[in-house]
Structure 1
């Protein structure tokens, strides 16, 4: 259980200028930035190797105005990206924070490429829902595992120590809220205490804490959790104990297309490029184009909490660039047939109803019409044989609410003051997705992980590099 102990002073066996809790994308980016600023850094990770929620993601980071976009002939800007975020989240996020992360993420991507060798490129063959430009950047395999491995290798090359198999359970802080150090537990039960100059919380949100999920996201309280089980809300609990402000704790990313029971993420391009979802009766049940986050709850409301994503070979050709989809095909869970009726047999759904659904979708596309759920089919290509389907369920990926931070990712108190030496990034900080699932724009998680991670590392690194009297 995460605890904060109030003390006037405490002696630690050793101290590190900058300590980071969590070795996901947010923590490792923060570590690289702090090290570059001249600080000695220790990253503490509860797992045996750095993975976190990053490894479970598609590893795609949205960024506007990058040289990768320009090379692909894509026009974009931080202002356009900010408008997309605010439109999707109903103007609920803090406008200054949205402007900050959309301004900082492009330079952060190019910094990771230039200084640390991450081979980014932009996805230029389809547009993610809610984005006005093609701005998703990823590494060659388009996987989160690839991204976290590249960041780990960069951290090791920079001489950053990553202490694994170490679960932080306690913080010690003085009366002003200054964190003096941390207590950690190893798998064999042994403990250590580490003093810190600056502390960066990069240990994500509370998606693995069923009690907090039931409190803040009741619609997904029984859903598959597709994040890291270590995301127990420690950062939020520590921050609140120190008097920190939190915001939008109900904000989260769901996903309506996780292969069942394989547990493999199926790219939402299967839908945005012209596919659709049906329940076990072969019927469509919602406007799939609203977004994959809010679609999680829609799928879970269907019989058995299951659905099928239906698409065709043209769309499959697009999503094969993602390692997850290639794994799904290798496992044999992507069903294929030459007619809707034959596909229905493979799916074990009523063939007549699925054929009617195919026909209705084809009609809507031909007429460029909007259906009864509100989905606009104008300009959407019709499906052509061979057809594909994959059985899916809805899942909770990660929470988006968290601690309120300033433009250097420093944690703020409830009255707006800055806590002396505490920073939050990634899922530990309040993101830019508003108060519920409908505000999540594709890539918002890694957007704040990388943008705020770099800002936190830069600020913490500079502070310990400057004499206290300066």
Structure 2
């Protein structure tokens, strides 16, 4: 992989107006947006089957002011959503990008539903940490796998060309840092070149590159990586070589609830509905109502780097709506106990400490006080037997820093000017989660992928149409 300075000619095997690298949610949505503008393009995907980070997620997209919210009586606005995002990241994200994503979020979700048949539903029953309104939109099975399937079906119906097993190894740029084209490599080692007038980087972050993780996120360098192996930092390294501005490279999404050894994501809804986490010593160690991203490092700091999710039958029944949870249950990750003594014995933890943790929650409810970590317990969410437990660890899911972009998804140089024809979105671009692991608001990853992906596709197409217009006029078209 590298940057090649290319002469100002068109010596490519194929020439297209637009090339999109990456066929995850970001690249597919960008392709759908560009398609509507009538721009010829191709999506290049390194895998045989497009999956990306989206495939491994819960597939939840936050959006404000949608009809799906209105149908359920949820009042929301882009301004409220933007405020929630900034509150979680401590005001560290670019406010213009945050507002743009919030402004377009509802329109993009409804466009995908109405024009491309994505069967979105509003996720009800609980609020994820930091969200003041129910605004998560998901497909019926509540999985990223299903969302990816729907987007691939939409791309196929639209006639979009997705070229798989096509790993981009080089970008070719000229002296003005304008992208001239790309070289891709096939599994058999053969190479092809495609010239382009604009390029969208939708190839996610660098979570799968241990060297870059150790450099930028040393606190998680030993964490299990639960993301797509293709996230090797290609976009970051290409942009850096082109003189692009890089921002918030320590930002990431971790998760403090990955079932181990089953390696199945356990929804944080368990915690938001009343569940708790204890370590091997039977003690709670944080507020489970903070955020699941920063919880990864807290879980990893416990003895053995593990914790136990503890919840009850009420929460168990509600969690069955999530396919990942059902899979974990069927795989034997969920253990059930009739009493605290039985649970302490079954999990190998001190009974006295476990009982003390439960007694404290009841005492806090009676006194109406928060615990030492700031969490408030309510009578209706106190856990009751039979109890359920899942052994979990902390994991790194994906990175949130990257190439700095403007509200048109144009990649910016270090001096703030946009590069001539390079766009980025999703994990390739700087996200809205601030500078570390604690600023991640649930759904920020797919918000940046889907909404900024739509913006990138539209804006790249508009720029191409603007450049093409004088030629069309001169030729009498």
Does TM, scored on the shorter chain, surpass 0.5? yes
Matches within 5 A, 1:298-317: 298-317=298-317
| Farther-moved stretch of structure 1 (180-189 vs 343-352) | 343-352
Query: TM-score scaled by structure 1?
Result: 0.98
Deviations 1:94-136 (A, max 9, x none): 1111110000111000000000000101012111110000000
Any idea what SS the aligned residue of 1:288 has?
coil
Deviations 1:393-426 (A, max 9, x none): 0000111111111111011111111111100000
Task: Give, in angstroms, the shift of residue 286 of structure 1.
Answer: 1.6
Task: Give, in angstroms, the shift of residue 379 of structure 1.
Answer: 6.4
Task: Give, in angstroms, the shift of residue 241 of structure 1.
Answer: 1.0
Matches within 5 A, 1:71-150: 71-150=71-150
Aligned position for 1:453: 453
Matches within 5 A, 1:37-52: 37-52=37-52
Aligned position for 2:242: 242
Matches within 5 A, 1:213-228: 213-228=213-228
Aligned position for 1:13: 13
| Farther-moved stretch of structure 1 (376-385 vs 86-95) | 376-385
Q: Distance in 2 between matches of 1:334 and 1:287?
A: 22
Equivalent pair of 1:368/1:379 in contact (CA under 8 Å): no
Deviations 1:357-376 (A, max 9, x none): 12222222333321122323
Q: Distance in 2 between matches of 1:331 and 1:231?
A: 28
Aligned position for 1:268: 268
Q: Specify whether residues 97 and 379 from structure 1 end up closer, same or farther in structure 2 by C-alpha distance, changes over 3 A only.
A: farther
Equivalent pair of 1:201/1:235 in contact (CA under 8 Å): yes
Q: Distance in 2 between matches of 1:202 and 1:27?
A: 5
Aligned position for 1:164: 164
Q: Distance in 1 between matches of 2:367 and 2:71?
A: 36
Work out whether 1:388 is the aligned partner of 2:388: yes
Q: Distance in 1 between matches of 2:379 and 2:81?
A: 23
Any idea what SS the aligned residue of 1:48 has?
coil
- Structure 1: stretches of 5+ with no match in the other structure: none
Q: Distance in 1 between matches of 2:468 and 2:267?
A: 49
Task: Give, in angstroms, the shift of residue 455 of structure 1.
Answer: 0.6
Deviations 1:241-296 (A, max 9, x none): 11111111111100000000111000111111111101111111122221100000
Q: Specify whether residues 220 and 467 from structure 1 end up closer, same or farther in structure 2 by C-alpha distance, changes over 3 A only.
A: closer
- Structure 2: stretches of 5+ with no match in the other structure: 471-477
Task: Give, in angstroms, the shift of residue 203 of structure 1.
Answer: 0.4
Deviations 1:203-259 (A, max 9, x none): 001101111111111110010001111101110111111111111111110000000
| Farther-moved stretch of structure 1 (214-223 vs 278-287) | 278-287
CA RMSD of aligned residues (A): 1.2
Q: How many residues align?
A: 469
Task: Give, in angstroms, the shift of residue 348 of structure 1.
Answer: 2.3
Aligned position for 1:201: 201
Aligned position for 1:4: 3
Query: TM-score scaled by structure 2?
Result: 0.96
Task: Give, in angstroms, the shift of residue 465 of structure 1.
Answer: 3.4
Aligned position for 2:53: 53
Deviations 1:61-100 (A, max 9, x none): 0001100000000011000001101111001101111110
| Farther-moved stretch of structure 1 (299-308 vs 456-465) | 456-465
Aligned position for 1:278: 278
Q: Specify whether residues 32 and 372 from structure 1 end up closer, same or farther in structure 2 by C-alpha distance, changes over 3 A only.
A: same
Equivalent pair of 1:38/1:462 in contact (CA under 8 Å): no
Equivalent pair of 1:38/1:465 in contact (CA under 8 Å): no
